[in-house]
Amino acid sequence: MIVIDKSTCVRCGACLRDCVVHVLTKGADGFPSFRREDETFCLNCQHCLAVCAQGAVTCNGVGFAETRAVEPLPDGRAEAALVRQRRSIRQWRDAPIPDDVWTRLVDSLAWMPTGCNDHRLHFTLVRNRAQMEWYRRAVSRKLQALVRTRLPQILFPKFRRYMEEIARGDDVVFRNAPCMIVASTPKNAPCREADPWIALSYFDLLAQANGLGTCWSGFAVHAFKGLRGLRRALRLPRGYEVGTVLLFGIPAVTYARVPQPRPLSVDVQ
Ligand SMILES: Cc1cc2nc3c(=O)[nH]c(=O)nc-3n(C[C@H](O)[C@H](O)[C@H](O)COP(=O)(O)O)c2cc1C
């Protein structure tokens, strides 16, 4: 439900033009008008409210008083450096994440873009050391039993190194990380493949901008998908599946140089 405060609206039409599903139309009096029957088409994206310089729009109960004015953004050069200098971290300091950083990161998860503005992502944040150890040991036990059968070594000779590490008891799945975030989606979400990856990609950059280290774990995704006992510990809402996993904590390594990637395959048309 979108409500227009006619005492402050200047009929500029900015909200109409920025509505992706056209649920706002120009009324006979020139003010934006929201038709009740269009309710189901509204994505609740709040573009109408965000674009209104007068603060005249209330979208599903959220209006001027519930929102903040936009702030200056970091400059493009700093952002590009962040992208280039972000590294996968696998060495960690035994130090807690400062509460203010934790809060900033976790609060930001609500702003991650989702297909059709679905926003039903569920995040499991593991911060407790003992709980992280539980996941580590549960996976390690299973993988060590699997490696002892020698089957993975035959089926996946390219991954022989990992098998040796697993046999030694190394944590190839959670990389000894102190914390982890798992993004899960409802199986019927319109963009269930993309949403979790996008959310944790943003989280990744934000974490590194706040001095944390991060590492994606494709192995953990496979472990959660394949091991029901492990997945159960995530306490996912009914109908949800694991999308992706990012490990994080305070890094115990710094880098002096920026790697030089292979030349890009780009076609500018
Ligand atoms: C989809 C995806 C899955 C990954 N899975 C793992 C993983 O299971 N374990 C790991 O140590 N690193 C994993 N990584 C990290 C890559 O190995 C890493 O990006 C690569 O080593 C390059 O290092 P950089 O991220 O510092 O540039 C993954 C990265 C991506 C994008």
- pLDDT over 90 at 36, yes or no: no
Per-residue pLDDT band for 232 (boundaries 50, 70, 90) equals very high
CB 180 within 8 A of CB 132: yes
- pLDDT over 90 at 188, yes or no: yes
Using most ligand atoms within 8 A of CB, pick from 83, 87, 88 the residue to mutate for ligand 1. 88
- pLDDT over 90 at 180, yes or no: yes
Ligand 1 centroid, distance to 70 Cα (angstroms): 34
Give all strands (DSSP E) within the chain, no chain letters: 2-4, 24-26, 32-34, 57-59, 122-126, 179-186, 213-216, 240-249
Residue 247, pLDDT score: 98
Q: Residues 208-225: pLDDT tens digits?
A: 999 999 999 999 999 999
Please tell me the distance from the alpha carbon of residue 195 to that of residue 136, in angstroms, as a whole number.
26
The count of structural domains within the chain is: 2
245 in ligand 1 pocket by Cβ < 6 Å? no
- 42, HSE (Cβ side, Cα atoms, 13 Å): 21
Residue 197 lies in a domain: yes
Nearest CA to ligand 1 atom 9: 217
Residue 266 lies in a domain: no
Per-residue pLDDT band for 227 (boundaries 50, 70, 90) equals very high
Nearest atom in ligand 1 to 87's CA: 26
Q: Are residues 189 and 244 in the same domain?
A: yes
Average pLDDT along the chain: 96
Which CATH number covers residue 31?
3.30.70.20
What's the token pair of residue 119? 């926003």
Q: Are residues 100 and 36 in the same domain?
A: no
Nearest CA to ligand 1 atom 19: 88
- Residue by residue, DSSP assigns 34-83 as E-GGGGGG-----HHHHH-TT--EEETTB-GGGS----PPPPHHHHHHHH
Note down the domain range covering 45. Answer: 2-66
Q: Are residues 19 and 97 in the same domain?
A: no
Nearest atom in ligand 1 to 221's CA: 8
Q: Residues 118-130: pLDDT tens digits?
A: 999 999 999 999 9
Q: Are residues 101 and 215 in the same domain?
A: yes
Per-residue pLDDT band for 35 (boundaries 50, 70, 90) equals confident
Q: Are residues 215 and 245 in the same domain?
A: yes
Look up the pTM and report it.
Answer: 0.94
Ligand 1 centroid, distance to 219 Cα (angstroms): 10
Ligand 1 centroid, distance to 214 Cα (angstroms): 10
Q: Residues 61-102: pLDDT tens digits?
A: 999 999 999 999 999 999 999 999 999 999 999 999 999 999
Per-residue pLDDT band for 37 (boundaries 50, 70, 90) equals confident
Please tell me the distance from the alpha carbon of residue 98 to that of residue 51, in angstroms, as a whole number.
34
- Let me know if 89 is exposed, middle or buried by CB neighbors in 10 A (0-12, 13-18, 19+): buried
88 in ligand 1 pocket by Cβ < 6 Å? yes
